[in-house]
Chain A
Amino acid sequence: DAGVIQSPRHEVTEMGQEVTLRCKPISGHDYLFWYRQTMMRGLELLIYFNNNVPIDDSGMPEDRFSAKMPNASFSTLKIQPSEPRDSAVYFCASSIVAIPGLAGEYNEQFFGPGTRLTVL
Chain B
Amino acid sequence: GNSVTQMEGPVTLSEEAFLTINCTYTATGYPSLFWYVQYPGEGLQLLLKATKADDKGSNKGFEATYRKETTSFHLEKGSVQVSDSAVYFCALRGSYIPTFGRGTSLIVHP
Contacts and interface: CB of A to CB of B under 8 A. Distances in A.
Interface of A: 4, 31, 33, 42-43, 45, 48, 50, 55-56, 91, 93, 97-98, 102-114
A31 B96 CA distance: 9
B89 A48 contact: no
Given A42-B103, A111-B44, A105 B32 contact: yes
Interface residues of B, number: 25
Given A43-B103, A104-B30, A113 B43 contact: yes
B20 interface: no
Given A42-B100, A43-B103, A106 B46 contact: no
Contacts of A112: 43
Contacts of B41: 113
B34 interface: yes
Contacts of B74: none
B96 A108 contact: no
6 contacts: A103-B29, A104-B51, A109-B98, A110-B45, A113-B42, A113-B43
Which of A48, A103, A109, A113 has most B Cβ within 10 Å?
A109
Which of B32, B43, B49, B89 has most A Cβ within 10 Å?
B43
